[in-house]
Amino acid sequence: MNLQTFLSEALKNNGGSYNITTGESNPTDGYMVSLPNCEEIFNADDLCATVLKEYIIDNADELSSENSFVGLWIDNGMVYLDVSVKYDDLETACYFGIINDQKAIYDNANAVAIHLPTPQRSGTMTQQRTYNYMAAQKAARLI
């Protein structure tokens, strides 16, 4: 798949994920976790191949990993672009989602969002890490 095909499919399906390194599109396994400070939001009427290419260039370092994907979704006339990392393990995905301040991660196999708690920001670093790890376990339904 190439970038233009991905864009066409994402527009038709109101979203999708694309790995610029491997060419993989819309994985059916694992969990997607957005990286902080990589999200861009704009009007859907402004979405075109040039905008997507510029986003990829601006986030090239973050997208260079084989587990990193350009995420695109459309909601209420707005386009959301982000860099997402695919994790195979639910607990790990929940943990990184929590510490990345994400409201949710995405379950590729079941095509659903998994909502996450707010990360712990007070206390010592050890207390924060422990709380966030326990919250990830709970979110992954392991406790």
Q: Locate the domains of the chain by residue range.
A: 3-139
Query: What pLDDT score was predicted for residue 107?
Result: 95
Tokens of 108: 């590729």
Position 4 confidence tier, pLDDT thresholds 50, 70, 90: confident
Using CA atoms, how far apart are residues 141 and 17, in angstroms rounded to an integer? 26
Tokens of 104: 């949710």
Tens-digit pLDDT profile for residues 43-99: 989 988 999 999 999 999 999 999 999 999 888 899 999 999 999 999 999 999 999
Rounded average pLDDT over 100-122: 91
Rounded average pLDDT over 5-13: 88
For residues 32 and 97, the answer to whether their CB atoms sit within 8 Å is: no
3-state DSSP call for residue 103? coil
Place of tokens 């396994």: 29
Position 142 confidence tier, pLDDT thresholds 50, 70, 90: low
